[in-house]
Amino acid sequence: MLDCRDLTFHYDRVDPGETPAFSFTFRLDPGECLAVEGPSGCGKSTLLGLLAGFLEPEGGRLAWQGESLLECPPWERGMTTVFQEHNLFDHLPVWANLGMGLAPNLKLSGDQRRRITAGLAEVGLAGLEARLPSELSGGQRQRVALLRALLRGSPVLLLDEPFTGLDEGTREGLWTLVNRQQAAGAAVVLVSHDRDDIEALADRRCRLEAGRLVDVPVLV
Ligand code: ADP
Ligand code: MG
């Protein structure tokens, strides 16, 4: 279980009253998807940054399966984040962007190469292995980013509005892939404004308001 309790944080150098101090509490079981809704600027990306370890909380507890994560750097947390943008390495072709998630030195096994090829076909990008990110549309880049996260198979998936700007057919295909990852035991935190995304993926949903998660079903 992902156990997040009173995880507190505030940004320095902001006008008083403009940005709230954040304090997040929720629990999430393996295989579950929690959707976090809220208007732009309410702190959704901040929440994911704290979970992933890109931001350092001032206090509170964050644990996965009973083990505290707060001392772990981002790459040792068993989490993969799909950011809103700028997910890819611009100088690397698609296959290497995907391969980085599997083998950072890019020495890929035959099986890993086959998984990349099959994954690209599943997200509708068959044959684009050699393209650079600059040679893809925004939606195609986002699909590569999501595929990279899914190929890694991390226990926890953090998705920051990952389907924005994608057409409905593409989104449905990606929902299937995320659902499959959940069925394999991944816990997913999905930040989204989109009702269809939330209905397709979320087991539970809550809102982020005034720096807190509210209406979290099954609170600790
Ligand atoms: P959301 O993802 O919900 O749109 P964010 O988590 O990005 O919101 O931002 C929450 C609030 O924190 C906003 O008011 C934003 O302006 C502020 N903020 C975000 N990043 C920083 C930063 N690095 N320094 C100061 N304030 C920030
Ligand atoms: Mg955001």
Condensed to tens digits (0 to 9), the pLDDT of residues 45-78 reads 999 999 999 999 999 999 999 999 999 999 999 9
Q: Are the beta carbons of 3 and 62 closer than 8 angstroms? A: yes
Is the Cβ atom of 21 under 6 angstroms away from ligand 1?
Answer: no
Residue 41 Cβ inside 6 Å of ligand 1? The answer reads yes
What pLDDT is stored for residue 220 in this prediction?
46
Q: What is the distance between the alpha carbons of residues 96 and 107, in angstroms, rounded to a whole number?
A: 10
Structural contact between residues 32 and 182, judged by C-beta atoms closer than 8 angstroms: yes
Question: What is the rounded average pLDDT for all residues in the chain?
Answer: 92
Is 134's C-beta closer than 6 angstroms to any atom of ligand 1?
no
CA distance 178 to 189: 11
> How many A from CA of 98 to the centre of ligand 1?
29
Looking at residue 45, what is its pLDDT? 95
Task: Determine the Cα–Cα distance for residues 71 and 53; give it in Å rounded to an integer.
Answer: 9
Using the mean position of ligand 1's atoms as its centre, give its distance from the Cα of residue 117 in Å. 37
Q: Quick one: DSSP state of residue 42?
A: S
Helix (H) or strand (E) holding 24: strand 22-28
Do β-strands 2-9 and 156-160 pair in parallel, antiparallel, or remain unpaired? unpaired
Q: What percent of the chain has pLDDT over 90?
A: 79
Ligand 1 centroid to Cα of residue 45, in Å, is 7
State the pTM of this model: 0.92
Q: Are 159 and 85 in contact (CB under 8 A)?
A: no
Tokens found for residue 214: 């509210």
Confidence check: pLDDT of 192 > 60: yes
pLDDT surpassing 90 at residue 32? yes
The residue whose CA is least distant from atom 13 of ligand 1 is 41
Best residue among 8, 9, 45, 159 to mutate for probing ligand 1's pocket (most ligand atoms within 8 Å of CB) is 45
Contact status, residue 156 vs residue 64, Cβ threshold 8 Å: yes
Closest ligand to the CA of 10: 1
**Closest residue (by CA) to atom 15 of ligand 1?**
41
Q: Looking at residue 187, what DSSP letter applies?
A: E
Rounded CA separation 187/108 (Å): 27
pLDDT at 19: 75
44 lines ligand 1 (CB under 6 A): yes
Q: Which residues contact 15 (CB under 8 A, 6 or more apart)?
A: none
| pLDDT computed for residue 15 by the predictor | 66
Per the CB < 8 A criterion, the answer to whether 183 and 28 are in contact is no
| Residue among 85, 9, 88 at smallest CA distance from 47 | 9
| pLDDT of 132 above 80 | yes
Percent of the chain beyond pLDDT 70?
A: 95
Q: What are phi and psi of 102, to 5 degrees?
A: -100, -40
Between 86 and 195, the higher pLDDT residue: 195
